[in-house]
Amino acid sequence: MPEQTREKLLEVRDLHVVFGKGKKRFEAIKGVSFDIYQGETFGLVGESGSGKTTIGRTIIRINEATSGEIIYRGKRISGKLDKATDREIVRKIQMIFQDPMSSLNERAKVDYIVSEGLYNLKNFASEEERQRRVRKAMLDVGLPPEFATRFPHEFSGGQRQRIGVARVLVMQPELIIADEPISALDVSIRAQVLNLLSELQKDYGLTYLFIAHDLSIMRFITDRLAVIHKGIIVELAETEKLFRHPLHPYTKALLSAIPQPDPLTEKDKTAMVYDPSRHNYESSAPKWLEMEEGHFVLANEEESLVYRKELN
């Protein structure tokens, strides 16, 4: 990513999300901060229950932020918003969901599914304009516009995910949050959807927040990657840097667990196991430290010395 284009599109500042009250209180996100720059693909990776989806859902305001701020183009978008900002954000930040089977309304035709966002915001001048935009979105995702009169059950998994992308595109968004968009799909179809997403990014200058647990896909698609564990980001770096010099033991464990399509190396590989008790955080609290340019890790004094040595 060249320096001059590094304009911050989204900033997340010390985000906390708490579910439940009293005895059932559960802190899903425990103070997360990161920036997403214009035009990049930012990845959030972690195991189930780590809170990666909650972050995505909080940005798009499905979940409420308990404390902390989310700033979009310098404007605060968490908490109470005035009507105009609300409409603007709804249009500009859109989300692609994991399961194309359950995220599409079974009883609606594709035409309605794709234009639902337009109807909600009423931001089209005429019926003709709406149809033109639906048509364009369908063509963009590689579906024949004639399919608009069909129902979701008439489509295969890959085509259904294309509909999921089309209904997002029709809004002309700037930031797309993709929550495990391909994990429910077959290998060969995964490639098609990944290609589609990267082509659309080029054509429309889109910014992606990509949420997934599959690191092999993350390496292929993201520019920068944050590793999240139990509601805290433990490491953040440019994707290649992170893969080449992982520092945090959790990142290392995750990387060692990726299955490689290479039987010679794979057969005698043993996966590392991450044990959080290895950190000595009672006596010395961890801080968010920059170890090399753009490569951040959560570490205390002692660990940071070890990590620095590893890098040199």
Partner 1 sequence: MENDNILSVKNLEVKFNLRGQVLTAIRGISLDLYKGESLAIVGESGSGKSVFTKTFMGMLDQNGSVTAGEILYKGMDLAKFKSEKEWLRIRGKEIAMVFQDPMTSLNPLKPVGKQIQEALEMHQRLKGKAARKRTIEILNDVGIPLPEMRYKQYPHEFSGGMRQRAVIATAIACRPNILICDEPTTALDVTIQAQIIELLRGLQKKYDLTIVYITHDLGVVAKVAERIAVMYAGDIIEIGTCNEIFYHAQHPYTWALLSSLPQLGVKGELLYSIKGTPPNLFKEIKGDAFAPRNPKALNIDFLIRPPYFQVSPTHFAKTWLLDPRAPRIDPPGTIKRLQDKWKEIKPNA
Residues that bind partner 1 (CB under 8 A): 47-48, 156-157, 186-192, 194-195, 198-199, 213-217, 219-221, 240, 253-254, 256-264, 266-267, 269-271, 273-274
Q: How far is the CB of 92 from partner 1 (least distance, A)?
A: 26
Nearer to partner 1 among residue 172 and residue 256 (C-beta) = 256
Which amino acid is residue 279, in one-letter code? H
Residue 253 vs 289, nearer CB to partner 1 = 253
Both tokens of 95, joined, read 């989300």
Task: Find the shortest distance in angstroms from Cβ 216 to partner 1.
Answer: 4
Query: Which residue lies nearer to partner 1 by CB, 120 or 216?
Result: 216
> CB of 264: closest distance to partner 1 in angstroms?
7
Cβ closer to partner 1: 48 or 283?
48
- Rank residues 18 and 258 by Cβ distance to partner 1 and give the closer one: 258
Q: Are 19 and 26 in contact (CB under 8 A)?
A: yes
Q: Which is nearer to partner 1, 60 or 143 (CB)?
A: 143
Measured from the CB atom, is 54 or 115 closer to partner 1? Answer: 54
**Least distance CB 101 / partner 1 (angstroms):** 12
Q: How far is the CB of 32 from partner 1 (least distance, A)?
A: 20
Q: In terms of Cα–Cα distance, which of 308, 200, 182 is closest to 247? A: 308
In the complex, what is the shortest distance from the CB of residue 159 to partner 1, in angstroms, rounded to a whole number?
Answer: 9
Closest distance between partner 1 and the C-beta of residue 173, in Å?
Answer: 22
In the bound state with partner 1, the residue whose beta carbon lies nearer, of 78 and 159, is 159
Q: Report the alpha-carbon distance of residue 235 to residue 251 in Å, rounded.
A: 7
> Which residue's entry shows tokens 């077959």?
186
Beta bridge partners of 253: none
3-class secondary structure per residue, the chain: CCHHHCCEEEEEEEEEEEECCHHHCEEEEEEEEEEEECCCEEEEECCCCCCHHHHHHHHCCCCCCCEEEEEECCEECCCCCCHHHHHHHHHHEEEECCCCCCCCCCCCCHHHHHHHHHHHHCCCCCHHHHHHHHHHHHHHCCCCHHHHHCCHHHCCHHHHHHHHHHHHHCCCCCEEEEECCCCCCCHHHHHHHHHHHHHHHHHHCCEEEEEECCHHHHHHHCCEEEEEECCEEEEEEEHHHHHHCCCCHHHHHHHHHCCCCCHHHHCCCCCCCCCHHHCCCCCCCCEEEEEECCEEEEECHHHHHHHHHHHC
Q: How far is the CB of 158 from partner 1 (least distance, A)?
A: 9
